[in-house]
Structure 1
């Protein structure tokens, strides 16, 4: 016994609604001969007559009335299915939970969420800002799908994937004498009150690396835990600092001057997830957007103009 395909259901219903082959072709935006052939092929394959031809009009055959009633049910269910798929494509009835380190969340996360909202306008988004010691519980307890960090997580229960490498840069308040330079050495920076992050913190250890590589040990006039704190203290004229470029990725940052370091120094952004967990398509898109936005920030020259 031959079975109807979904395409045949669609064509038979179109002929039933339009009453003519040409009308059905117009509904489906295809050629009339193709519709005519498919109707004949369907009737021959089923061994029953679906339509009676009356003066060029196709009328459902008496014996096929029960079939047409079921075809209409199938079509309604397909409409419902397509509506559900369409809603899912927009993110309807789904909550995407992910987290970011404060340094990356400052500017990059907002750009990522903008991209997500453009593609999935109905998606419910839950963004957490985490310290590195909070990340493991967040992922293992499945409070969120992925965390974007400035350090990898050394634990076999999670997987850390590098997604972008950025520069460590020097920052100073506007009007500072180091702002006269087009690039700043770490040896220049340590001559001034220096603001940093505890080197025992993974982020602080990364920021301290260029000094340690040069055999220097910077003395902190004051310390902050997060990049935003460092930026605020520098803006208020309390000292100078080094920081990852993602934390100062805004084009215009009044009160702050950014300069490249003479010594090469880099930081890596990582995507961290529970090992073995399959990310949702929304989370995969989130990681893709972080990769893209971090790379754009890396490529963009945001150095503030040095005096001529």
Structure 2
């Protein structure tokens, strides 16, 4: 795109960051201009100015479309809290006389299996509260909560961050997920030696529990036969259902609706999992967030494999 030989030291403008978001969404300057209600040349100028500021190309041209680079996605991620803060300012104090907004962030599997029934009941109890759910990775959820971009987060990993306060709502240990009828389904407990000849689909290595799985296999002198990775448990479970391999996962929240055609057997040595509610550590918890959290705690079902903390 732009010539990035010299770096513009002034800070990027909000308009330039808006253009970046629109370009990532549309991949075309004409469509981005229509989205923002400005001219196509204005989009091109803003994008060129932004590239001059960062000193890096943000888009590459491929087949008539502009494809975002990794730097474009990274810059967009840094800009999201800014727009979230502006959105809060735009709603304040008007939301006091209109519907209040509850902002929740969570990864895909929890969003699919945990939140819907709780949100439905919360809507019945508090019809004036509008719930806005952001679905992202657990690490991004932690950042969003710490930055107060959302009122609360729900993650399926232990979270430690100076900007958050966490409450454990569920405890579990790793289980081996396999299709119904698999020969190992006759066992109650499985260890690395039992899985020595089995193809394994795992969560990505950025998850701390993945490292614990690798350590358990290494300590047993067993090679982990990795055939695939995923960043969402619901995806990994679907790959198991398709008989691509077995998986070692936290059975929650798949036990709430994602276990069709699958069985789970406890893995030893035990690998602990926690499901946590997260709140910003700075300032007070939004009243609607506290009420929603209390409702979620009260509505936690028993599943026979994991332990709800109420």
Between 130-139 and 271-280, report the one with greater CA deviation: 130-139
> Which of 223, 244, 250 is matched with 1:244 structurally?
250
Residue 236 of structure 2 corresponds to residue 230 of structure 1 = yes
Q: Give the distance between the partners of 2:127 and 2:214, measured in 1 at CA.
A: 41
Q: TM-score, normalised by structure 1?
A: 0.59
The alignment partner of 1:269 has SS state of strand
Q: Give the distance between the partners of 1:302 and 1:164, measured in 2 at CA.
A: 11
Task: Give the deviation of 1:120 after TM superposition.
Answer: 1.6
Task: Give the deviation of 1:226 after TM superposition.
Answer: 1.2
Structure 1's unaligned 5+ residue stretches are 1-87, 304-308
Can you list the C-alpha shifts for 1:258-302, whole angstroms capped at 9, x where unaligned? Answer: 2233543320112222212212222112222333445x3xx4226
Rg comparison, structure with higher value: 1
Task: Give the deviation of 1:228 after TM superposition.
Answer: 1.3
> Which of 271, 283, 297 is matched with 1:277 structurally?
283
Q: Give the distance between the partners of 2:258 and 2:142, measured in 1 at CA.
A: 35
Contact 1:171 1:241 in 2 (8 A): yes
Q: Give the distance between the partners of 2:215 and 2:117, measured in 1 at CA.
A: 29
Residue 221 of structure 2 corresponds to residue 218 of structure 1 = no
Between 133-142 and 99-108, report the one with greater CA deviation: 133-142
Q: Give the distance between the partners of 2:212 and 2:268, measured in 1 at CA.
A: 17
Q: Give the distance between the partners of 2:303 and 2:182, measured in 1 at CA.
A: 24
Can you list the C-alpha shifts for 1:44-85, whole angstroms capped at 9, x where unaligned? Answer: xxxxxxxxxxxxxxxxxxxxxxxxxxxxxxxxxxxxxxxxxx
Call closer, same or farther: CA 1:289–1:191 in 2, change over 3 Å. Answer: farther
Task: Give the deviation of 1:178 after TM superposition.
Answer: 1.4
Q: TM-score, normalised by structure 2?
A: 0.59
Contact 1:112 1:290 in 2 (8 A): yes
Between 97-106 and 131-140, report the one with greater CA deviation: 131-140
Q: Report the equivalent of 1:114.
A: 120
Q: Report the equivalent of 1:163.
A: 169
Call closer, same or farther: CA 1:94–1:232 in 2, change over 3 Å. Answer: same
Structure 2's unaligned 5+ residue stretches are 1-95
> Which of 285, 290, 304 is matched with 1:301 structurally?
304
Call closer, same or farther: CA 1:173–1:128 in 2, change over 3 Å. Answer: same
Alignment of 1:175-194 (within 5 A): 175-194=181-200
Q: Report the equivalent of 2:273.
A: 267
Q: Report the equivalent of 1:10.
A: none
Call closer, same or farther: CA 1:144–1:204 in 2, change over 3 Å. Answer: same
Q: How many residues align?
A: 211
Q: Give the distance between the partners of 2:206 and 2:215, measured in 1 at CA.
A: 12
Q: Report the equivalent of 2:180.
A: 174
The alignment partner of 1:126 has SS state of strand
The alignment partner of 1:277 has SS state of coil
Can you list the C-alpha shifts for 1:192-231, whole angstroms capped at 9, x where unaligned? Answer: 0011023343353355565466565523111111111111
Higher helix share: 1
Contact 1:199 1:208 in 2 (8 A): no
Q: Report the equivalent of 1:46.
A: none
